[in-house]
Every structure is written in C-alpha cells, then in structure tokens.
Amino acid sequence: MIQLIIKRLLHMIPVLLGISLLTFMVMQLAPGDFLSQMELNPQVSDETIASMRARFGLDKPWYVQYAIWLKNIVVHQDFGESFARHQPAFTVLKPALLNTLLLALAAAFITWSVAIPLGVIAAVRQYSWIDKSSSLIAFIGLSVPEVFLALLLILMAAKTGWFPTGGMQDLDYERLSVGAKILDVLHHLVLPASVLATVPLASRMRQMRGNLLDVLRADYVTTARAKGLPERVVIVKHAVRNAINPLVTLFGYTLG
C-alpha cells in the first residue's frame, strides 16, 4: 500500500510540471501583461515600468520566466506575488479556494442526496408518472447550459428577493451569531450550488436508474423474492447495494 502511494505521488510530479508549463505557455500567448495596463497611466514613468519589468523578470523570454518561477517554488517555496494587490499569491487565493471548496461540497451534497433516491424510485416505479417526470427533469438538466440556468436563477432571485444575487455572505455577517452565520452562508449557497448540481444530478439519476433496473432482473434478486422476502428488503438490502457500486467510484472522481 505504501509503495502504491509513493508511486502515485511520484507520477504526480511530471503531471504537475506539464500542467504548469502548459498553463504558463497559454498565458504568455495573451498579448500584454499587468504592466501593460500601467503603461497607459501617464503618472507612471517609463523608468518605473522598466524597473518593474526587470525586477519581476518580465523582460526575459517566457521559458526563462517559467524557470525562475519554478526555481522560486522548489528552492524558496515562493509562489509569487500579486501585481494588483501586492500580496503573496496564496494570500490572495485562500478566500477563493475556501469558497470554491464549500461550493463544490454543497453541489456534491445536493447531487448525491437527490440523484440516488430519485434514481431508485424511478427504477422501482418504471414507466410510472414518477419515472417519466424524472426522465423529463434529467432531459432538461442535461440540455440547458449551466450559464443560461444561472442567469435564469439570478433573474428569479432579483425579481422575488428570495435569494441573494451574489456574494457568499451579507454585509452584517460579522455581527451575526454562529448559527445565523451558518444559515446566512447556506442561504447564499442555494442558487450557485443548485446550478452546479443540475447536470451531474441528471446524469447520476439516470445511471442509478439504469443500474438498478439491470440488477432487478438478476437471478439472485428473483431468488430473494422467491424466498418470500418483503419487496422493500429485496430492493434496499440486495438490489440497491449492488447497483450503487459503480456510482461509488464516480463519487471519488467528484471529490477530486
């Protein structure tokens, strides 16, 4: 087990280097940089711009800049500084990373807590109005672009006032109690998490339905019914346990 983990970690090194190099190259293809915006400011002299370019290595070829950046990370654990905020990169990214993680976890919770039960019900009640309604929801979820759905929900929130249209917290967040803070963040998470959960929810629901339908036709399920087991026990204890296995693997990718 330890050897496998070490092997996986070693495989990550060339992957991370390749991703960082490709990202660096793509960014360099864009014309200009942050200092190009400062050149438009008549109050900033050309000498100041040239000094800053030399200081940050922006006057060197892109591959030299990448080598300097990589050296600073490996040797000094320095990931660079934000030109706009004059702060370390991690200081700038930390709030965004935490918010992204919270949003992703909320979307994953909505996806799996709704998709699995809905897929089970749709399979057990095949061709019923519940199954047909679920299929319609899945079709709409897979067809409507997330950006368009987000705009519709923002419009709905602006018209009704039921949900905030932006941000992660209210202006008076710091004065709230602990419980009120949690409710405030959850209130802000409802719309964006719902948008992010729509497409995977539809997909996972259809997968759960298909898997369970296949399992319900298996011989061991027929045997369990022949023994006189209640239908609920047959479905929950025998069928769902086996039908959900492929989705457990997909849940690992969701966490990633």
For 171-233, give the DSSP string: TTGGGS-HHHHHHHHHHHHHHHHHHHHHHHHHHHHHHHHHHHHHHHTSHHHHHHHHTT--HHH
Percent of the chain with pLDDT over 90: 0
Question: Residue 254's pLDDT is what?
Answer: 67
In this prediction, residues 128-132 reach a mean pLDDT of 79
Statement: the pTM of the whole predicted model exceeds 0.85? no
**181-223 per-position pLDDT tens digit:** 778 778 888 888 888 888 788 888 888 888 888 877 877 777 7
SS3 88: strand
Question: Residue 116's pLDDT is what?
Answer: 83
DSSP 8-state code for residue 128: S
pLDDT at 140 over 70: yes
Question: Residue 39's pLDDT is what?
Answer: 73
Question: Residue 255's pLDDT is what?
Answer: 65
In this prediction, residues 5-24 reach a mean pLDDT of 83
pLDDT at 14 over 80: yes
Question: Residue 1's pLDDT is what?
Answer: 67
Compute the mean pLDDT over every residue in the chain, rounded to the nearest whole number. Answer: 79
**42-60 per-position pLDDT tens digit:** 777 777 777 877 777 777 8
pLDDT at 229 over 80: no
Alpha helices in 57-177 (DSSP H): 62-76, 89-124, 129-143, 146-160
Question: Residue 120's pLDDT is what?
Answer: 83
How many angstroms separate the CA atoms of 16 and 52, rounded?
29
pLDDT at 113 over 80: yes
How many angstroms separate the CA atoms of 70 and 212, rounded?
49
More confident residue, 227 or 108: 108
The pLDDT-based confidence of 96 (bands split at 50, 70, 90) is confident
